[in-house]
Amino acid sequence: MTRTYLDHAATTPMVPAAVEAMTAQLGQAGNASSLHGSGRAARRVVEESREEIAALVGARPTEVIFTSGGTESDNLAVKGAFWAGRERGRSRLIASAVEHHAVLDPLDWLERTQQATVDLVGVDGDGRVDLAALTQSLAAADDAALVSVMWANNEVGVVQPVVEIAERARERGVVSHSDAVQAVGQLEVDFADSGLDLLTLTAHKLGGPYGIGALLARRELTLTPVLHGGGQERELRSGTLDVPAVAAFAAAIRTAVGDRPAARTRLRGLRDRLVEGILATVPGAIENGPAAVDQRLPGIANLCFDGCEADSLLLLLDAAGIDCSAGSACSAGVSQPSHVLLAMGRTGREARSALRFSLGHSSTAADVQAVLAVLPEVVQRARRAGSMTG
């Protein structure tokens, strides 16, 4: 069976340039921290890749801290800023209610075990953060260590006003962080212009390999490391660097940023065709997220299907060769309504009926047509199954 892959927000296939860059390094010996010739050659690859990544996201090379991916970068940002802030009497953490669990779960852990105070700021019906409430939280006391709001949401694609958030945080002397895993490569992301102190990105959302990402951290910022050891990466992230993955990361982001203008237009067209087709052929389907194209990612479509359970829809679509998701892939296997949709005001029943279709560089019009060809019948079958079990 030929499969239709519409889960690019979970991970996207590696692009040829990244495969080539990674393959070229896999046969090379040399630890990038070693002083001999092979080590220096590996270090050269790392530093040239670091410089390229920095230039493509508006950062200085010294601000690029390589990690194992988005989850580690988010943990380093949240925990590192909290522990450093606590030394200055700042132990409150502020975030939006629709953050990825790589931010929400560290916040919960810090609150339970490290005496942190956590403020989760609500969002409107489109998933956009309540700026007035965030500003009020920042102004409530002078004890905030960090504000973290994702650049673009992984479930509904809403784009947040991170530049304004960073400015308000800076006015209060609060460190600002944004998980930009979904944004980099699809939106114009410039770290310097954003005013942010910390920014998370990862390779496998861009067409690079798993297991490599970065935290952009202002050079003058003080963070407490999560990992201790050899002192690599400004002593913020010890560990032997994965040279082939770093090289592939640079190649992937180069490709994504270079292709971005044309890709954005193409993905918007495919997404619009998909959503319009679903709404026209599936009674009771409701689109989630903002309608304005400039407030959402070009390739994510999230819809509720009245009378259905997302798990049933996923199984039926999987059997038909369609790959999509019921929300964040990092919560896969956990049967619970999306916290993002609940925060947006959807009921538990509505949130449990939602599917996310996410398009990427390998998506085609044929993929959209494949979904539209089977989804109406799939929804009917899921509704019948729900009525029998209900």
By the 8 A CB rule, do 54 and 64 touch?
Answer: yes
Reported as type and span, the H/E element at residue 79 is helix 70-86
Q: Are strands 285-288 and 144-148 parallel, antiparallel or unpaired?
A: unpaired
Is 330 a known active-site residue? yes
Tokens of 267: 């993905």
Rounded to 10 degrees, what is the CA torsion of 206, 210, 211, 215? 10
Helix 365-389 × helix 243-281 angle, to 10°: 70
Amino acid at 68: S
Rounded to 10 degrees, what is the CA torsion of 287, 284, 386, 274? -50
Question: In this structure, what are the phi and psi dihedrals at residue 106, rounded to the nearest 5 degrees?
Answer: -60, -35
Distance CA 87, CA 67 (A): 25
110-136 in b/e form (b: 16+ CB < 10 A) is beeeeebebbbbebeebbbbeeebbbe
Tokens of 231: 């002192």
Tokens of 190: 């410039």
- Tell me, what DSSP letter sits at residue 288? E
**Catalytic one of 304, 308, 324, 330:** 330
Distance CA 225, CA 85 (A): 13
Active site (catalytic) residues: 330
